[in-house]
Amino acid sequence: MTRFKAFGIHSVTSLLVFLSVIGLLVLAWYPWPLFQLEGGWQGVRLVALVDLVLGPVLTLVVFKAGKPGLKLDMSLILLMQAGALIYGMWNLYDARPVLLVHADDHFQPLSRSLLNEWDPSGRVLERWEGLAPRRLRVQAPDDPVAFADLLTASADTPGKMFGLFERYQPLEESWPELLMDAVQIRDYVKRDPEWQKHLDSLLNEINRSVDELAFFPYVGRRKRVILGFDRETREIVGILDIPYDPAVIRFEIPRSHRSGLNR
């Protein structure tokens, strides 16, 4: 076998492994739009560099049929690749958004590492962790006094409202209540003509009317945007890449009803 044939075989095999990794990320660990919003590509750079570039190039350099010590050289290259792949995958696994939680007027992704920090007992992960992120809502009492007491009690809780694990509720069970707190997007985008253009562009791109969607702010590690959900299916169908201003959304934009944590 020539070194170029060995390089080709190594490159194709590495590409297949890399595509499998990307498939796992975009279909399970970081489903759209989390792969885009949470820096999925940045997370796979090390894997791509070692798996697609360094490994095959080293094979091209060191491979020579009949060379003494060739098996050892190739074994070391494969071990290096495997080590980099395991390291990169573990970091991606630990940083992946296990939960997408709504509280305090916005959605926030909670990573596995963050939940381990907030809940060392591991009970939250044991209950809610799955292959794909679970979408939850923090349910607050309707009574204003009880709600005020809850705010006070959560002040010292890691993550504040997002750390109230006992009040987590699956999104599908509280969707009607959550819809009442959707951003009145027509009013919000009036603050800037460019925002209106972004909204019009999004609606045209996904071929939806504004009344078919519910908009909620998203605060991630890397980006703050407003997500458009289909009101019927509860699926995220669009990203409105305009600034999220909590003060405006909470106090200036009228809501048809304000409930739960969004008082």
pLDDT tens figures, 179-188: 988 999 999 9
pLDDT digits (tens, 9 = 90+) for 118-150: 999 999 999 999 999 999 999 877 777 877 777
CB of 188 closer than 8 Å to CB of 195: yes
Model pTM score: 0.84
Instruction: Name the DSSP letter for residue 133.
Output: P
Q: From first to last of the 263 residues of the chain, give the pLDDT tens digit.
A: 888 898 999 999 999 999 999 999 999 999 999 999 998 887 788 778 878 888 899 888 888 888 888 889 899 999 988 888 888 889 899 999 999 999 988 999 999 999 999 999 999 999 999 999 999 999 877 777 877 777 777 777 767 889 989 999 999 999 999 998 899 999 999 999 999 999 999 999 999 999 999 999 999 988 999 999 999 999 999 999 998 877 766 655 555 444 444 43
CB of 55 closer than 8 Å to CB of 21: no
pLDDT value for 75: 92
Q: How far apart are CA 243 and CA 224, in angstroms?
A: 7
Contacts of 194 (CB under 8 A, 6+ apart): 242
SS3 253: coil
pLDDT value for 133: 95
SS3 111: strand
pLDDT value for 263: 37
Contacts of 216 (CB under 8 A, 6+ apart): 102, 106, 107, 178, 181, 182, 183, 226, 227, 229
pLDDT value for 132: 92
Structure tokens at 89: 């995958």
Q: How far apart are CA 193 and CA 185, in angstroms?
A: 13
Q: How far apart are CA 117 and CA 108, in angstroms?
A: 16
Contacts of 164 (CB under 8 A, 6+ apart): 103, 138, 150, 154, 157
Structure tokens at 74: 């190739």
pLDDT value for 115: 95
